[in-house]
Amino acid sequence: MIFAARNAEQSHHIQLRLRDEFEKCLKNVFAASGSNCTANSLRMHWRAMKIEMITLRELRMRLKSPFETSFGVTQERRILLVELVAGGISGWGEVTAMENPFFNSETTDTAWHVISDFLAPQLIGRELASAVEVPARWAGVRGHEMAKAGVENALWDVEAQHRGLPLSTLLGGRREEITCGVSIGICETPQSLTRKVEKEVRSGYQRIKLKIKPGKDFAFVAEVRKEFPDILLSVDANSAYDLGDSAYLKTFDQFNLLMIEQPLQWDEIHAHAKLQRMISTAICLDECITNSRHANAAIELGACRIINIKLGRVGGHYSAQQVHDVCQEHAIPVWCGGMLESGIGRAHNIAMSTLPNFTLPGDVSASQRYWHEDIVEPEVEVTPNGTIRVPRDPGLGFTVKRAFVDRLTARSKNWKENQAVSISAPNNTVAFDR
C-alpha cells in the first residue's frame, strides 16, 4: 500500500513519534505488572499485526424509553459497528455518531461514507505494530473524529488481545473499578424528573446529571436540589444558551452544582472563558473539545475547570490519552461522557475511564438502563455502590453476541486485503497498491 499525502515527511515523523510514545507505554505496562522490560520483550511485543479484514455494520436498536436533550428526542438508534481482524484476532469498535448532525457535524451516514471511502481502504492489508500508528495513516483526512474512533478502537481491542492484556492495562489504566454517574433526559415536569432521580439514587449512582434547556431548567433543578440536598448534582445544556444568558446562568450558583456542562455554543471556547469569570459554578466543556490542542486552549483561556472526554468526539483512544494528559498536567479533572452506546462502546468507555485523571464519576451506566437486551455478554452492570468492575480478560473483556448482532444488522460492508482501491480528493492524492 502506498499513501501519498500533501506532507508525507510530516506523516513519517508522526509515525516515528507515535512509535516512541508506544514504546514508553509498553514499558509502563511492564512496570505496572512487575515484569522486566528488555529489548527482546519489546521486540516480541512489536510483532506486526496485519489487517486482514474490516467489516462495517449498521444496527437498528431501540432505547427502552425516549431520551430528550436540548437538541431533540432519541429513541431509535442507528449504530455503526466496526469489526477488524488482524493476525487472526477479531476486535470491535463503535461509531458514536448520532442519526442527525445536532450534537456535532457527524451522522451515521457521514461516518458510513468516510469509513467506506477513506478510512478502511487506507488500513486494509497494512501491517501495524500498534494502534498508535493509525492516526498518522489518516493524516490527510480532516475531522470525522467519530468515524475514525470506531475503526481505531477496534484495532486497540485486537492489540490488547494480541498482547494478552486487558484493554485498560494496555491504555495505562490502573483502576479495578470505575465510579458511575447517570444522565437523565429532559422531563415533562419537575416532579417527574424528581421521581427519576430518586430511582437512580436508590440504584447507587454516585453522580446525577440533569439535561436542561430554556424553559425546563431552573425550576427543575430547584425541585431536585430541594428533595436531594446532598447528592453530587450537575446539569448539561448541550449548547442551549448564549453569553447573553450569563446573569440567568449565574442564578444556578445557588444549587451547589458539581458543574454546568457546555452551556454555550458548541464551538465557542472564548465565550465560555467570559462566562466562567462571571459564575461560581465550574464549567465543563464537552462539544468544544475534539483534541488536546482544544483542551490546552480552553485551559489557558480559563474557559472551564472540568473537561468531559468522549471517546468518539476526540477521535479514539490515542487522542483521548492526549487530552487526558494535558488535563492532568494542568490539574483539570476529567470524566467519561456517554453517547447512548451499545455494550461495545460502553466497554471501550470502561477501559478509558481507568486512566488516573478520570477522577469524577462518568456517564458509563448499566446496559439495562437503555436496552432491553445489549449486544455483549455479560451485560454492563453497576454495583450497589455505584461502580463498574473493570474486566480482566484480554481485550475489551466482553463477548459480542454475533447472532444477535446479525439479527439487528440493517446493512453491512466488508473489506479484505486483496481488494484494490483508488481515491482522489481535493488537494490530496491517495493511492493504494496491494
Predicted confidence (pLDDT) per residue in 58-109, tens digit: 999 999 988 888 778 888 999 999 999 999 999 999 999 999 999 899 999 9
Known catalytic residues?
A: 211, 310
Q: Which CATH number fits domain 171-400: 3.20.20.120, 1.10.286.10, 3.40.50.2300, 3.40.50.620?
A: 3.20.20.120
Instruction: Let me know the angle formed at the C-alpha of 297 by 296 and 303, rounded to the nearest 5 degrees.
Output: 105
What are the tens digits of pLDDT across the range 106-157? 999 999 999 999 999 999 999 999 999 999 999 999 999 999 999 999 999 9
Task: Cell 470525522: give the residue.
Answer: 144
Q: Where are the domains of the chain?
A: 8-165+402-431, 171-400
Interval 32-45 mean pLDDT: 45
- Helix (DSSP H) and strand (DSSP E) numbers for the chain: 15, 18
Per-residue pLDDT band at 184 (split at 50, 70, 90):
very high
Report the mean per-residue pLDDT for the chain: 88
- Is the pLDDT higher at 394 or at 16? 394
Question: How far is residue 126's CA from residue 303's CA, in Å, rounded to a whole number?
Answer: 41
User: Does residue 202 register a pLDDT over 50?
Assistant: yes
- Neighbouring residues of 208: CB distance < 8 A, sequence distance ≥ 6: 181, 182, 184, 197, 200, 201, 224, 228, 231, 232, 233, 234
Predicted confidence at residue 26, as pLDDT, reads 53
Predicted confidence at residue 37, as pLDDT, reads 46
What are the tens digits of pLDDT across the range 341-390? 999 999 999 999 999 999 999 999 999 999 999 999 999 999 999 999 99
Q: Are 91 and 158 in contact (CB under 8 A)?
A: yes
Predicted confidence at residue 277, as pLDDT, reads 98
- Is the pLDDT higher at 428 or at 414? 414
Predicted confidence at residue 46, as pLDDT, reads 52
Predicted confidence at residue 149, as pLDDT, reads 98
Q: Are 262 and 239 in contact (CB under 8 A)?
A: yes
**DSSP state string for 187-252:** -SSHHHHHHHHHHHHHTT-SEEEEE-BTTBSHHHHHHHHHH-TTS-EEEE-TT---GGGHHHHHGG
Which grid coordinates are listed for 9? Answer: 515527511
Per CATH, which fold does 8-165+402-431 belong to? Answer: Enolase-like; domain 1 (3.30.390)
Share of the chain above pLDDT 90, in %: 81
- Neighbouring residues of 27: CB distance < 8 A, sequence distance ≥ 6: 37, 42
